[in-house]
Amino acid sequence: MDARRAEQILKSPDTIGVKYRNNYVWIEDVDKGRNTAHVTYLEEGNTLHVSIELLEETGPVG
């Protein structure tokens, strides 16, 4: 994923699935300068900063 798409997902009114290392995450913030995102694991609630390139979009969640 690129920073532009991560930001679009963050601002989208729709819920769009995103995975980091095969676990679903919620994008909290995007740092385009560092090409990182602050994400929260949906199941565990842990937060971390990750490289945006490692995020995988899975599509709309219905």
Enter the pTM of the model.
0.91
Contact by Cβ (8 Å): 55, 37? yes
Q: Where are the domains of the chain?
A: 3-60
Assign domain 3-60 one CATH number from 1.20.1250.20, 2.40.50.140, 2.30.30.140, 3.40.50.720. Answer: 2.30.30.140
Q: What is the full per-residue pLDDT of the chain (62 aa) written as tens digits?
A: 999 999 999 999 999 999 999 999 999 999 999 999 999 999 989 999 999 999 999 999 87
Residues 62, 50: Cα–Cα separation, whole Å = 26
